[in-house]
Amino acid sequence: MKLFVGLGNPGAKYAHNRHNIGFMVLDRIADDHGFGPWRAKFQGQVTEGRLGRDKVILLKPETFMNLSGQSVGEAMRFYKLTSADVVVFHDELDLAPGKVRVKSGGGHAGHNGLRSIHQHIGAEYDRVRLGIGHPGHKDRVAPYVLSDFAKAEQEWLDDVLRGCSDGAAALADDEPAKFSNAVALRTAPPRSSTGTKPQKQDQTKPGKPQAKAPVAPAEDTRSPLQKLKDKFQ
């Protein structure tokens, strides 16, 4: 059994924030893989289902980000899991938007949600780092992560969510490389063997050259006498 945790803040106010991309991933996995309805438990929202051959618990802590570890620790103890059975999906400032990396163990790098989880279950859990980019200065980090994704970011965001859902079963089976490949097929699909895009044909008559427009005859500027003279030459 695995416990997949998505990090974010509860409530409609935060639903589309960059900080909530972990919640978004779990929502996509639950929808795509036929998980049951969400219910309140462990100071969060929980649903259960299967990914491949594994039973998986999805958990969205509702303690607010800074106290996420309370919810994760409670769920882990209830299901008699170890920290090695936990996978946390979270926003990552140090990765470019649309980049996804899997990491096992390590520090929290100042992420308040991870810091709280460290305090409650230790550091030996897996995490999926979901790149959102950096605003450029540390003083702008808080307003940046607590603001909504821009419209221009929706395409790559959707690719990331779909890719994480595609690879979720591999992640549950402890196959991070397969998970990463599934994400890459969405976020960076392979090019054609020539490396160039095919040329678009004329849409009016596919496969046929476009007909040239008829050329208008030149205006006859001869005088009537000259026309008569030319006629009998």
Q: Are 150 and 177 in contact (CB under 8 A)?
A: no
For the chain, give every domain's residue range.
2-187
Does 145 have pLDDT greater than 60? Answer: yes
Q: Are 94 and 11 in contact (CB under 8 A)?
A: no
Catalytic residue of the set 16, 19, 90, 137: 19
- What is residue 201's predicted lDDT score, i.e. its pLDDT? 47
- What is residue 38's predicted lDDT score, i.e. its pLDDT? 98
- What is residue 161's predicted lDDT score, i.e. its pLDDT? 98
Does 204 have pLDDT greater than 50? Answer: no
DSSP secondary structure code for residue 169 in this structure: H
Cα–Cα nearest to 185, from 203, 164, 199: 164
Banded pLDDT at 191 (limits 50, 70, 90): confident
- What is residue 110's predicted lDDT score, i.e. its pLDDT? 87
Does 57 have pLDDT greater than 80? Answer: yes
Q: Are 164 and 124 in contact (CB under 8 A)?
A: no
- What is residue 190's predicted lDDT score, i.e. its pLDDT? 81
Does 228 have pLDDT greater than 80? Answer: no
Residue 134 is a catalytic residue = no
Quote the percentage of the chain above a pLDDT of 70: 82
Encode pLDDT of 101-117 as tens digits. Answer: 999 999 998 899 999 99
- In a 13 Å sphere around the CA of 13, the CA atoms on its Cβ side amount to 5
* Tokens 């859990």 belong to residue: 125
Q: Tell me the whole-structure pTM to 2 decimals.
A: 0.81
Encode pLDDT of 20-48 as tens digits. Answer: 999 999 999 999 999 999 999 999 999 99
DSSP secondary structure code for residue 55 in this structure: E
pLDDT (average), residues 74-87: 97
Q: Does the structural domain 2-187 have CATH classification 3.40.50.1470?
A: yes
Copy the structure tokens of residue 115: 């810091």
Does 213 have pLDDT greater than 80? Answer: no
- What is residue 203's predicted lDDT score, i.e. its pLDDT? 46
Quote the percentage of the chain above a pLDDT of 90: 79
Banded pLDDT at 216 (limits 50, 70, 90): low
Q: Which amino acid is at 53?
A: R
